[in-house]
Amino acid sequence: MVTASVPSHQGMQAGTGTGVNFLPGPILLLGAPGVGKGTQAKALRAHWGIPQISTGDLLRDNVVRGTELGRAAKLVMDSGELVSDSIVNAMVANRLGEADVRQGYILDGFPRTLNQADWLDEQLATESALAGLEVHAEQFRAGSTLPVVAVAMQVPYTLLLRRITGRRTCPACKRIYNIYFQPPAYDLVCDIDGTPLTQRADDVEEVFAERLRAYEELTAPVVEHYRSLGRFAEVDGDQTVDRVTSDILATVQRLRG
């Protein structure tokens, strides 16, 4: 567990870390479903002003828009299994081609298999080799060519279960509630706009069990992969949101040190 701390992210200037041109670079948030990766990725995005790249969100966006990719992914997602590496890698490759990743980015929910991790490692190695050759002179000092740092979050199983099965979302404003920890004021409608809340199809208990099984079998080895490469740390996810954010900020700064 990480014990070092920095002041809360709230009220701090976006784009700063230690305060002097800190380049966050690529950051991986690892951990089981329900550990808080999405929440923390948003907090880091607000703090550093770098994008959150959530493969789950990108896939759900394709499902909502009814794209071919979305139609192919939906059944797999609803069953709690993983979408194929080739689909997900291509989606991430596209996203990493956008200009806003130059200072760094937070990968949330990717990589989830060793194949995805190998693919990412190769992409990043190619990018920094090109930067080293100064082929891409402008990118040379860019955060996107820094080696990846990986932060794995941990939370006890019973808490994961309640975080996932209790999660409800407002389809209108996207605000997230939890019927156990953060319920809406009235019944199951949004406090802000009164819209009935919905539950993600893959957040029901049976599907959660499959997601956790997929995590143990396919994603836990990814955590070990990054542990063995160094620039890796674990953070206790069973604390207040702000406290976890502070721990992650301190961890990334230390790993970049």
Q: Any idea which residues carry the catalytic annotation?
A: 37, 112, 167, 200, 211
- Provide the strand spans (E) within the chain: 25-30, 52-54, 104-108, 149-154, 167-169, 176-178, 232-236
For ligand AMP, the binding residues in 179-238 under the rule CB under 6 A are 202, 211
Give CA–CA dist 45/201, Å, rounded: 27
Least spacing, CB of residue 251 vs ligand AMP, in Å: 21
120 or 248: whose CB is closer to ligand AMP? 120
**Which DSSP letter does residue 219 get?**
I
Q: Does 29 bind ligand AMP (CB under 6 A)?
A: no
CB 133 within 8 A of CB 13: no
Which listed residue (55, 145, 245, 251) binds ligand AMP by CB under 6 A?
A: 55
34 or 184: whose CB is closer to ligand AMP? 34
Half-sphere exposure of 186 (CA within 13 A, CB side): 8
65 or 187: whose CB is closer to ligand AMP? 65
**Which DSSP letter does residue 182 get?**
B
- Using a 10 angstrom Cβ sphere, with 0-12 exposed, 13-18 middle and 19 or more buried, the burial of residue 156 is exposed
Least spacing, CB of residue 112 vs ligand AMP, in Å: 4
Question: Which span sits near ligand AMP by CB under 6 A: 72-80, 123-131, 177-185, 190-198?
Answer: 72-80
Could you tell me the two tokens for 238?
């069973």
Total residues binding ligand AMP (CB under 6 A): 17
CB 41 within 8 A of CB 159: no
Give CA–CA dist 25/126, Å, rounded: 15
Question: Which span sits near ligand AMP by CB under 6 A: 74-82, 153-161, 179-187, 230-238?
Answer: 74-82
Q: Does 59 bind ligand AMP (CB under 6 A)?
A: yes
Task: State the residues that interact with ligand AMP by CB under 6 A.
Answer: 33, 55-56, 59, 76-77, 80-83, 88, 109-110, 112, 116, 202, 211
